[in-house]
Structure 1
Amino acid sequence: MAAVACLVAGAQVVRLAAVFTLAWTHSVQKSEWQEDWRATPGGLVLQEVRVQGSGAGMEPPEGAVRAGGFYVARPQLAPQLSVILRRSGATADWRVCTQGRCRPMGDLVAADADPVELKICD
């Protein structure tokens, strides 16, 4: 059976897909950041990062090239057992994109859940 990612917020568990994108807008720079992830038996693999601009802690990753209005990079990061997503309430919510459709994370788990863990489903 193929690996699938889940969002875990307290007792709430939401199955995503094997391939998905996390997206958000930086609170100061108002620049878009997108990360493509793939669930594997060994963990979550970051496949590609796209950053609309730079500044205020949003520097494009090393080796990024400019394409289509974004800096695009393929970071060499070891598979992650989990990724913790924090929600301050001071910025727009994370967006979770699967099969070409993006939704605020609050459509999937409680809007006030913090932190939310992204991990491989059990």
Structure 2
Amino acid sequence: MIGLCIGLAGMVWADLPTDRFTLSWRHSIERVPWEEDYRVTPDGLVLTAARIKGVGAGMEPPEGAQYRDGAWHYRPDLPPIQPLRLARTPEAGDYDLCLDRICYPLSHWIGPPRAEQPAIELWACRLSGGTGGGT
């Protein structure tokens, strides 16, 4: 079974049995919410849709984005990402990971952001039948 692994440099800190998720966060300076929807595939994480709920310095919506329901919606055309590397520091705040529309901060699975560990990775991985991992 394919699922989502969270960790760094191939070391799994948590694994989640899911085939899709939404990653959301607030821009560290402008505090504008961003959301990205991913599908988990054997080739990696496929970004299927994205939304920006505002604009600001360095946050212009891409060409072709459409404004509806209070956000700029767009569909990036990218190959599968394997791994997806995220900057994660106490100053910037945490990401939320949403599964079946229920959202939790990444700290729910791997603890709070720490200055000495300023990045994490998400990747598609083969699960060994477990129930999702610990920290």
TM-score greater than 0.5 by the shorter chain: yes
Residue equivalent to 2:70: 69
Aligned partners of 1:16 and 1:98 also within 8 Å? no
* Per-residue Cα deviation, 1:29-81 (whole angstroms, up to 9, x for no partner): 11110000000111110000000111222221221100100000011011111
Q: Distance in 1 between matches of 2:53 and 2:25?
A: 11
Q: How many residues align?
A: 121
Instruction: State the AA in 1 paired with 2:64.
Output: G
Listed as ranges, the gaps of 5+ residues in structure 2 are 127-135
Tell me if 1:8 matches 2:7: yes
Q: Distance in 2 between matches of 1:28 and 1:50?
A: 17
Q: Distance in 2 between matches of 1:26 and 1:103?
A: 18
Query: Which protein has the larger Cα radius of gyration, Structure 1 or Structure 2?
Result: 2
What's the % identity of the aligned pairs? 36
Q: 1:58 to 1:121 in 2, by over 3 A?
A: same
Aligned partners of 1:47 and 1:75 also within 8 Å? yes
Deviation of the 1:103 alpha carbon: 0.7
- Map 1:35-50 to 2 at 5 A: 35-50=36-51
Q: 1:7 to 1:16 in 2, by over 3 A?
A: farther
Deviation of the 1:11 alpha carbon: 4.9
Instruction: State the AA in 2 paired with 1:8.
Output: G
* Per-residue Cα deviation, 1:70-100 (whole angstroms, up to 9, x for no partner): 0000110111111011112112200000011
Residue equivalent to 2:109: 108
**Secondary structure in 1 matching 2:110:** coil
Listed as ranges, the gaps of 5+ residues in structure 1 are none
Q: Distance in 2 between matches of 1:66 and 1:78?
A: 25
**Secondary structure in 2 matching 1:45:** strand
Greater Cα shift, 56-65 or 94-103: 56-65
